[in-house]
Amino acid sequence: FLKSSVNELLQLDEETQILSYTVTIDLPHSSIETTNTGSQLSNALKIQVNSADAGTIFSIDNVKIIKDGKETKVPSRIYKIAG
């Protein structure tokens, strides 16, 4: 699933500069939250999401990008891992 770039997951042009974002993975009895910088997903995060069970929900929040030379926020995205 997470072979996509953060830009693809957020439906942003590949040229869009992503400053930071938070990923939250909701597990059955807990959640994992990590703050990331740049447009690449860390290998550890890819492993966590790719090993999650079907039905697990993860979100990308607090996304800050550079648009027209200014820092701005974009809407969050929520995904449900398919089976």
- 8-48 confidence digits (pLDDT tens): 889 999 899 999 999 999 988 888 898 899 888 878 787 88
Residue 74, both tokens: 């974009």
At 28 the pLDDT is: 83
Residue 47, both tokens: 């492993």
- Report d(CA 34, CA 41) in Å as an integer: 11
Give this prediction's pTM: 0.84
Place of tokens 């040229």: 15
